[in-house]
Amino acid sequence: MQFGCTQEWLGSVTNKKADQAFRFLLGCIPFAIFLMPLNVFSSTFNLDVDDDREITALTDGLITIRYLFGFSGESLISGALGSEALRNSPEQVIDYLEENRTTLDVDGDGTTTALTDGLLVIRDLFGFSGSSLTTGALAPDATRTSADAIAEYIAGLKDTGDVPTYWIDPYYGTKTPSFYSPAPDGYELFDSDIQVHGQLEGLDHDPTASPGAGKFIFNRVYHAFKHGLAWGQQFGVFGSWLGSFGNNSIEGGLWVNPKTAGPHFYPTLHLAGIGDAYYACNDVQMGSGLYEVFVGDRWLTMIQISNKVLTVPGVNIAFDMEQDPYENDNGIWIGSGWSYLNLDHPRGYKFWMSFIESYDYQGPINGYMPEHWNWIDPEKIEEGSYAQNLADQGEAFGTFATKGSKEDSGTGNERIGLRAHDVGDGTYYLPVANLPDYKEREYLLAHPQSIELSTMEAFSTALRSGGLGETLIPTTNKDFQSIYESTHNQLKIVEEIDGEEHRFMIVPSYRIGFESSLGYVQWDHSTADLKERQASQNGYIYVRKLTDKWEVEEGAGDDYRNHPNSYQTEVVDAPDEIVRAPRVTHRFFNYKERDTNHPDFQNWDTSGKTRYQRSLQNGSIATYVWFKFIEQPAVKTAQQNHPETYTDSYLNQLQSYIEEFHRQINEQSMQNPTDPVFINYRGANQPDSNDPHLVKLDPAQIVQPEPGYEVGYVPVVISVYHPDVYSSNGRGLIEQPDDPCSNADWTDTYHPDIE
């Protein structure tokens, strides 16, 4: 349908003649309206459409009325963007306005049109009031008809809360909650240029079962970094690395990785597993591999299991930054981990999956088709390392799918790519862990739990027969036994001086400790001055280099014991009155939709399916569709790669088991449960003998199935796009898989079938 604009309606915008320059600004050019099946999730809306922290008639008002007339492409935004607009592409603007279209019903008649609602908005932004605001611009069925009522409604839409949707505070470097303290006045941004190695101490606990059925643990969720990180910087927060017997690992826990997760305020929960070592084509993000490569269909193995919570590529699970952090009451907590179900796989393989225990949802999230764990890199077969591994392990060799998990006894931290700032005179300003410090003892970890094979076999049998009833998974709590401390792990500045590497070891003012199955950080609040000083050193500290040598512990490797330039440092007060923060250039990776015209992407075909969008708190937009469980991309792949296993008969059986699982989840999972549902937080002592405050998820990740899809269907995210101003790889479709992850690159090399 083609439209043009006329002098008559142009004049009605301002009640003035159309021969003024405004005619050009409005954009009198033809346009077309395109419709697509799209449902959206509405976040807080305001009229700062271009996200430049200003609301004006000739930018936001003009774009709004153009949108309501159906403009698209460059004609929508041409000449109408603020000089500092962060929402600056037609696609972003349409996403934002389409997502909130019902909110633009200014006159309350149940519809949104250009010559009523759009006209009222732009007149108000031009400063019109009284009858000049409403004359000729109210629909016959309007329920909001007085000029005062219209002005009051639009005033609500002009409240930006001073936080634009896409804006990232340059001091904090992340999205921040509305209740957070504003950035200090007069701070100075610096460029970090000195390497910092090492990380926070880990805590070791009694080993889990071996062979076992996985591990659960509770982590406190807190703002783990004082300032945001840049592309390539990341760190894990008390994560767990489960291993199989010679071939796989499952990596779980809180992590900070803005490259893929964006500028979330809290760390996100990482839920993924590695098949054969760190091969690039491992499906770790529901269709993309390690190092952000996009994989062809033959490599797909990760499956969506939850029918209530989205697995968002790059993010996995994010937490609501606006929730009460309960800082004075031991904080907010997430229970998580991995176990498996026996779903009568024709070859007896195990279906491993992640579980969480949160305020909003309790149950499984994602998992893997069992064959994921059995694939072997053909180069390892050819050069003999696979055969050598089999020989070394003997009868002990086994994958997660064939045998289970090996004993695990650790939680660890990692930091990659972080840097310090040299402020002169041997003094440096550098990032350290940002830890809760409301009380002297703040708990960070609780209840590492071991799961027996027999437990999950019994759980699976009950599920398959329809007699599960109780979803709480029986576990054995494990006590912490030691702190992982070493020169290798120690936080340190690394510099080259006169052609030689020098290391300067850093000892922050906190102490990591444990009591039975609880891990904590201990502060010294014996005086008000000491408490204030430690608070000022939380997250970033100043240190001064010393000439005293660092004492390397017994048993350290030769690289540490024989290193000639390992020295101590001392923590010092700020050398001046300058408030400093690292300069961060934000770039985030888009998980693009695949072009299903390419033969390697046909399992992602969504023809005839309704698309839904969610605006995540990190500023990205995730699009998802509902699939029948056995028709989601990775299950289609399993049938294509292993047709002898995934017959129609078995797939129908598998579908029936998932439907029963969903019925149990729908019945048991709830908001704010009064008792544990899947992961037990009452199996051992609690911090201060109270149940934890379970964490709330990013509300955009919580979904409601379409009618008829309540069981047996799953929401699969098909794309995640960050604002163009921050995107590292642009918009558009992925046209082909990355090397070496095409369908042609896939190999049928699976343990135990390798000759």
Q: What's the rounded Cα separation, in Å, for the pair 385 and 277?
A: 12
Are the CB atoms for 341 and 462 separated by under 8 Å?
A: no
Nearest-angstrom CA–CA distance, 575 and 84? 35
- E strands in 592-712: 611-615, 621-628, 693-694
**pLDDT tens sequence across 275-318:** 887 889 999 999 999 889 999 999 999 999 999 999 999 999 99
Residue 378: cis peptide before it, omega within 30 degrees of 0? no
Tokens of 341: 């179900």
How far is it, in rounded angstroms, from Cα 606 to Cα 603?
9
Secondary element (H or E) of residue 12 = helix 7-14
How many CA atoms does the CB half-sphere of 159 hold within 13 Å? Answer: 8
Residue among 619, 610, 591, 630 nearest 704 (CA): 610
Q: Round to whole Å and give the CA distance between 407 and 215.
A: 9
* Alpha-carbon distance values, 728 to 25, 135, 586, 708, 721 (Å): 32, 47, 9, 39, 10
Evaluate whether 613 touches 621 at the Cβ level (below 8 Å): yes
Do 633 and 287 touch, CB atoms closer than 8 A?
yes
Q: Which pLDDT score, from 0 to 100, does residue 747 have?
A: 97
Q: What is the pLDDT of residue 24?
A: 31
Q: What is the pLDDT of residue 83?
A: 87
User: E strand or H helix at 332, and its extent?
Assistant: strand 332-341
Q: Are 737 and 600 spatial neighbours (Cβ–Cβ below 8 Å)?
A: yes
Greatest CA span in the chain, whole angstroms?
89
CA 51 from centre of chain: 23
Q: How many CB atoms lie within 10 A of CB 232?
A: 11
State the DSSP code for 407. Answer: P
Q: Are 355 and 339 in contact (CB under 8 A)?
A: yes
Distance between CA atoms of residues 439 and 313, nearest Å:
36
Rounded CA separation 85/97 (Å): 15
Residue 452 CA to residue 432 CA, distance in Å, equals 37
Taken in order 89, 95, 98, 102, the sign of the CA dihedral is negative
Asked if residues 632 and 714 have their Cβ atoms less than 8 Å apart, the reply is yes
Give CA 370 to chain center in angstroms.
Answer: 25
State the DSSP code for 58. Answer: I
| CA dist., res. 694 & res. 688, Å (int) | 15
Angle among Cα 494, 496, 498 to the nearest 5 degrees reads 150
Enumerate residues 6+ apart whose C-beta is below 8 A from 608: none
Query: Do 67 and 76 form a contact (C-beta atoms < 8 A)?
Result: yes
Alpha helix ranges (H) inside 100-220: 119-125, 131-134, 147-157
Q: Which secondary-structure segment (H or E) carries 568?
A: strand 566-572
Q: What is the 3-state secondary structure (H, E, C) of 186-247?
A: CCEEECCCEEEECCCCEEEECCCCCCECCEEEEEEECCCCCCCCCCCCEEEEEEEEEECECC
Asked if residue 95 lies in contact with residue 41, where contact means CB atoms within 8 angstroms, the answer is: no
**Rounded to an integer, what distance in angstroms lies between the CA atom of residue 742 and that of residue 183?**
47
User: Looking at residue 20, what is its pLDDT?
Assistant: 36
Exposed/middle/buried for 127, CB within 10 Å: 0-12, 13-18, 19+?
exposed
Beta bridge partners of 428: 422, 543
- What is the spatial distance between Cα 378 and Cα 687, in angstroms, rounded to a whole number? 49
CB 48 within 8 A of CB 166: no
pLDDT in tens, 645-703: 999 999 999 999 999 999 999 999 999 999 999 999 999 999 999 999 999 999 999 99
Query: Can you read off the two tokens belonging to residue 60?
Result: 């936001």
Is there a contact between 176 and 169 (Cβ–Cβ < 8 Å)?
yes
Amino acid at 384: G
Alpha-carbon distances of 197 from 420, 495, 548, 567, 646, rounded to whole Å: 10, 11, 19, 14, 47
Closest CA to 483 of 416, 432, 550, 412: 412
CA distances from 88 to 79, 140, 399, 557, 724 (A): 11, 35, 49, 53, 7
Of 707, 681, 755, the C-alpha closest to 220 is 681
Q: Which helix (H) or strand (E) holds 579?
A: none
* Confidence at residue 19, expressed as pLDDT on a 0 to 100 scale: 35
Q: Are 267 and 330 in contact (CB under 8 A)?
A: no
Q: Are 356 and 336 in contact (CB under 8 A)?
A: yes
CA-nearest of 519, 583, 508, 514 to 542 is 508
Residue 679 in contact with residue 362, Cβ under 8 Å? yes
Bridge-partner residues for 580, per DSSP? Answer: 188
Q: Which residues of the chain have pLDDT under 50?
A: 1-43, 162-163
The token duo for 545 is: 């280099």
